[in-house]
Amino acid sequence: MQLKGKKVLITGASRGIGKAIALKLAEAGGDIAFTYCGTDLEAVHTTEAALRAFGVRVKSFHADASDFQATHKAVEDMVEAFGGLDVLVNNAGITRDNLLLRMSEADWDAVLNVNLKSVFNTVKASIKTFLKQRSGSIINISSVVGISGHAGQANYAASKAGIIGFTKSIALELGSRKIRANVIAPGFIATAMTDQLEPSLQQEWIEKIPLKRTGLPEDVASCALFLASDASSYITGQVIQVDGGLLT
């Protein structure tokens, strides 16, 4: 599963799962461009340095993934800088959890815009390049919550379920042009967000997982590498759960 010479764009990759995916794909030889949104430049520079250690080209773009124009500009600049685009990973996402009774319209809109509209934005911006090349791998990060639902996360679950429907649709549209589109649905993954949970709640989740452990960002990254590489050349329109058997 090598990516030498492949040009990769990952949204939201300055930390967490996105960063782990970027590192895994850079280790395999892929040139990495990534977007970030926020003011934590230290995290961005740390990620850039870690990626360059693999001897690949690296470029970051400050862009709000939910902003249609900003996303198109970032993709255009990336294609111009790298000379193409082979792999697109849509990872950017947020949560604004609350029971529906208390959920505000602003919290609904923010989650749907960042998690779901961003996927439309990046794929729409990338599609001409993929079609011209007659190749490409699109990897969209959803969640097991998008399959099972979860109380207090109606907005998040809707956005992640939407990613699955969107991906299956474009896989049908683009397959004849040798462009693949797949979904990774992570389960309970150890990130800064899950670290904030009470230890008792974390243990409660672990007890539900057949493998009896939380997943690691690297577990998701390994799946992303498989889908980015030619090893998965006959796989499209699929949802791969990286959840330790949680929804089995």
Please list the active-site residues.
156
Contacts 24+ apart (CB under 8 A), 105-111: 107/155, 108/155, 111/155, 111/156, 111/159
Q: Which residue has the tokens 């990620």?
A: 47
Maximum distance among all Cα pairs of the chain, rounded to whole angstroms = 52
Calculate Rg over the CA atoms of the chain.
17
34 contacts 22 by C-beta, under 8 angstroms: yes
What is the distance between the alpha carbons of residues 90 and 87, in angstroms, rounded to a whole number? 10
Q: For residues 189, 190, 195 and 196, what is the CA-based torsion angle, rounded to 10 degrees?
A: -20
Contacts of residue 94, defined as CB under 8 A and 6 or more positions apart, other chains included, come to 110, 111, 114, 115
Pairing of strands 179-186, 136-141: parallel
